[in-house]
Structure 1
Amino acid sequence: MTDESVDSFLEMLAAERAAAPATLAAYTRDLEHCSEALGAEGETLATASVEALRRWVAEMASDKLARRTIARRISCIRQFYLFLLREGRRADNPASQLDAPSPQQTLPKFLTETEVSALIDASTCSPDNRPAQRRRLLLGRAALELLYSTGLRISELLALRRDMFREDVRMLMVRGKGGRERLVPLSDPARDAVMALLLEDEAKKSLWLFPGRTPLRPITRQGFDKILTDIGSRAGIDPARLSPHVLRHSFATHMLAHGADLRVLQMLLGHADIATTQIYTHVQADRLRAVVESHHPLGKPAVEAGDTDEQSLMQKEASEKKP
């Protein structure tokens, strides 16, 4: 494999699929990992055989890498060879015969509704707050309200611009993964929190809703994490259980728990495939169990007090009718 092939592949991902820089970096690392493993056997990515690629997969398994990591790397290599095949740089796709392990299904971590309320309450300003602390709380409050009421990804949140918000705005146009755009509704509490932050930051003259130390750029992910951790500590929530993605999971979980349609949730979250959204259906198990216990005859105790009284009355009426 030449650097030109890798560069062309990455350029295709960026141009045709609108891959984010982080995605391109992950693909690069996966390609480098495979190239190094093949190089140890005297092969290259350009001429790799199916057997050599299978040994690479077996080596990753013996190193006890996570199944999700192995599956992701195999997916990357498959796409790379498919690209070479379509470009006429190879006559086959040797990775098409690789067996990828099914990723271990892990349930999303989420907060309870009470914990989310405590988190938002903890971001409320008080008269004795210093100016710097007041702004951190205003920023945290606006971010929390948006994350929880819209289910935005952290990258989507930090990319929001000031000019997207007006006092009468009801919907936000968000650009998500793959450049896909979607509309998400803006709640009244979220809009009020955003307006308070905009007023506080008016003198910064920044293009961004969440400007960083330098108004020309939005706050970094690491900078926001520090604010979130501080608010979480004030709310008594373990920082290990708190992240922007946990709030996204909480949004989805609570929406389903209150009867939201799965297809609507898919649109709100910006999932290309509804199978990704279905991971949140774990919350419906308790609801279904409660419905069965409440309404199905076999879900209730065998004999209830009311049933006993009704049976006694029926037996009495039957005996009175006998000659």
Structure 2
Amino acid sequence: MADDDRLLIDRFLEMMAAERGASRNTLLAYRSDLDGARLIAGGLADASTAMLERLSPAWVTLSASTVARKVSALRAFYAFLEEEGLRADNPSAMLPRPITRRPLPKILSAADVDRLFGVIEARLAVDSPVPHDLRLSAFIELLYGSGLRATELVSLPRRALSGDRPFLILRGKGGQERLVPISDRARAAVAAWVSHIPPDSVWLFPSGKSHMSRIRLYQLVKALAGAAGIDPDRVSPHVLRHAFATHLLEGGADLRALQSMLGHADIGTTQIYTHVDSRRLVELVNSRHPLATMKAAR
């Protein structure tokens, strides 16, 4: 039966990739969640409601968001079995429905970002900057200047930025394509780094036979934070993506434009950034709304 479960999980994940465009990271998370549930429940394909009841006690120490993800994986898996005619019922209806709140993003101030770039500029202000510092400059310019996800950044093809084209086209989560503007600074930083890439590399940021890993990128960003006198726990590639979005919004960017640049399928995901902008919104109402210039009517 364990072999049957593995085969069905493989088929389910193939469907998720082909029909729903699930990313590699999503597929890995779903596989891990389903394999873990299979071991706890004693099987998945033929699991009864009673067998799935074993999961709740095993999840009691997990966060609500983690449990929600695991439940989502199981619900999707059993819906797939129903659609394929492999089960007549869906035992996942009894699984817990944890209430989760979208966490507010960690943010960096503009001064914090200036400190990060200050370290890089000091390292590059020598006669012959070392290649690793040129690469780090390209990383930070693209993370903060374009809001790329870590996976999108490290897996950029060598020719992703071509000529004077001020944008690149990315395929992000769910296989959705989006246009990402690239600043002159970022293009200059990438151009300085490109000459140090091995001629036979197909990646913009190669490492061995593939591209650099996300883990290594995280390490480099945290090391830079430490060098800038910022707590490394406050800084990550994703935090720089948040800073990109937050600072654009503070500068007057349209929420829909920001949604497009970030690659969010749901604008509700983008709206989380408005929490940092409430003071500015009040100021806008007080200074620019027509009522602000009208005398109070008697």
User: How far off its partner does 1:291 sit?
Assistant: 4.2
Q: Which residue of 1 aligns with 2:295?
A: none
User: How far off its partner does 1:84 sit?
Assistant: 0.2
User: How far off its partner does 1:183 sit?
Assistant: 0.6
Matches for 1:168-247 after TM superposition, within 5 Å = 168-201=164-197, 203-212=198-207, 214=208, 216-247=209-240
Listed as ranges, the gaps of 5+ residues in structure 2 are: 293-298
TM-score by length of structure 2 reads: 0.87
Q: Which amino acid aligns with 1:67?
A: A
Equivalent position SS for 1:169: coil
Q: Which residue of 1 aligns with 2:64?
A: 67
User: How far off its partner does 1:20 sit?
Assistant: 3.2
Q: Which residue of 1 aligns with 2:242?
A: 249
Asked if 1 retains the 8 angstrom alpha-carbon contact of 2:143 and 2:153, the reply is: yes
Q: Which residue of 2 aligns with 1:119?
A: 116
* Change in CA separation of 1:249 and 1:78 when aligned onto 2, cut-off 3 Å: same
Q: Which amino acid aligns with 1:240?
A: D
Q: Which residue of 2 aligns with 1:58?
A: 56
User: Following TM superposition, where does structure 1 have runs of at least 4 consecutive aligned residues deviating by more than 6 angstroms?
Assistant: none
* Change in CA separation of 1:295 and 1:177 when aligned onto 2, cut-off 3 Å: closer
Partners in 2 of 1:6 and 1:231 — Cα distance? 41
Q: Which residue of 1 aligns with 2:159?
A: 163
Q: Which residue of 1 aligns with 2:39?
A: 36
Partners in 2 of 1:228 and 1:22 — Cα distance? 21
Matched, 1:151 2:147: yes
Listed as ranges, the gaps of 5+ residues in structure 1 are: 300-323
User: How far off its partner does 1:97 sit?
Assistant: 4.7
Q: Which amino acid aligns with 1:188?
A: D
Q: Which residue of 1 aligns with 2:92?
A: 95
Asked if 2 retains the 8 angstrom alpha-carbon contact of 1:34 and 1:56, the reply is: no
Q: Which residue of 1 aligns with 2:275?
A: 282
* Change in CA separation of 1:277 and 1:240 when aligned onto 2, cut-off 3 Å: same
Q: Which residue of 1 aligns with 2:135?
A: 139
**Aligned-pair Cα RMSD in Å:** 2.4
Equivalent position SS for 2:195: helix
1:231-281 alpha-carbon deviations (Å, 9 max, x no partner): 222221211111100001111111111222221111111111112212111
User: How far off its partner does 1:142 sit?
Assistant: 0.7
Q: Which residue of 1 aligns with 2:296?
A: none
Partners in 1 of 2:288 and 2:216 — Cα distance? 50
User: How far off its partner does 1:284 sit?
Assistant: 2.2
Q: How many residues align?
A: 287
Partners in 2 of 1:184 and 1:242 — Cα distance? 22
Match of 1:77 among 59, 74, 77: 74
Identity in percent: 46
User: How far off its partner does 1:114 sit?
Assistant: 1.4
Q: Which amino acid aligns with 2:279?
A: D
Q: Which residue of 2 aligns with 1:12?
A: 15
Asked if 2 retains the 8 angstrom alpha-carbon contact of 1:149 and 1:186, the reply is: yes
Q: Which amino acid aligns with 2:113?
A: V
Partners in 2 of 1:112 and 1:237 — Cα distance? 11
Partners in 2 of 1:60 and 1:256 — Cα distance? 42
Higher Cα radius of gyration: 1
Partners in 2 of 1:295 and 1:171 — Cα distance? 33
* Change in CA separation of 1:295 and 1:197 when aligned onto 2, cut-off 3 Å: closer
Equivalent position SS for 2:164: coil
Partners in 2 of 1:45 and 1:222 — Cα distance? 32
Asked if 1 retains the 8 angstrom alpha-carbon contact of 2:131 and 2:193, the reply is: yes
TM-score by length of structure 1 reads: 0.81
* Change in CA separation of 1:196 and 1:78 when aligned onto 2, cut-off 3 Å: same
Q: Which amino acid aligns with 2:231?
A: D
Matched, 1:263 2:256: yes
User: How far off its partner does 1:204 sit?
Assistant: 4.3
User: How far off its partner does 1:60 sit?
Assistant: 4.2
Partners in 1 of 2:87 and 2:219 — Cα distance? 48
Asked if 2 retains the 8 angstrom alpha-carbon contact of 1:167 and 1:191, the reply is: no
Matched, 1:104 2:101: yes
Q: Which residue of 2 aligns with 1:309?
A: none
